Amino acid sequence: MLQGKRIAVGVGGGIAAYKAGDFVRELRRQGATVKVSMTKAAQEFITPLTLQSLSGEAVLTDYFDTSQEEKFGHLHLGRWADAYVVLPATADLLARIAAGMANDAVTTSLLAFRGPVLLAPAMNTAMWEHPATQRNLATLRATPRTHFVGPASGPLADGDVGPGRLSDLPDLIQAVKGLFAGAQLNGKKVLITAGPTREAIDPVRFISNPSTGKMGLAVADEAHARGAAVTVVLGPVGELSPLPYEIIRVTTAEEMLEAVMHRVEQADVFVATAAVSDWKPQAVSAKKTKKTDAPQSLALVRTPDVLMTASAKVQANATRPVLVGFAAETHEVITYAKGKLTRKGLDLIVANDVSAPGAGFGGDTNVVTIIDSHGTTSAAQGTKREVAARLWDLVAKKLGAS
Interacting residues toward ligand CTP by CB under 6 A: 193, 253, 272-274, 276, 278, 303, 305-307, 325-328, 340
Task: Identify which of residues 71 and 331 has a Cβ nearer to ligand CTP in the complex.
Answer: 331
Question: Residue 36: which of 18, 22, 54 has the closest Cα?
Answer: 54
Question: Residue 375: which of 337, 343, 344, 401 has the closest Cα?
Answer: 337
Residues assigned a catalytic role: 209
Shortest Å, Cβ 344 to ligand CTP: 6
Task: Identify which of residues 43 and 352 has a Cβ nearer to ligand CTP in the complex.
Answer: 352
Beta-ladder partners of 154: 162
Shortest Å, Cβ 11 to ligand CTP: 41
Backbone angles phi, psi at 53, to 5 degrees: -65, -45
* Cβ neighbour number for residue 135 with a 10 Å cutoff: 12
Question: Residue 388: which of 245, 175, 195, 239 has the closest Cα?
Answer: 175
Backbone angles phi, psi at 337, to 5 degrees: -65, -45
Shortest Å, Cβ 68 to ligand CTP: 54
Task: Identify which of residues 101 and 300 has a Cβ nearer to ligand CTP in the complex.
Answer: 300
| Whole-number Å distance between alpha carbons of 240 and 83 | 27
Task: Identify which of residues 166 and 351 has a Cβ nearer to ligand CTP in the complex.
Answer: 351
| Whole-number Å distance between alpha carbons of 244 and 190 | 14
Shortest Å, Cβ 236 to ligand CTP: 15
Shortest Å, Cβ 364 to ligand CTP: 20
Backbone angles phi, psi at 69, to 5 degrees: -60, -35
Task: Identify which of residues 69 and 258 has a Cβ nearer to ligand CTP in the complex.
Answer: 258
Collapsed DSSP state (helix, strand, coil) of residue 318: coil
Collapsed DSSP state (helix, strand, coil) of residue 378: strand
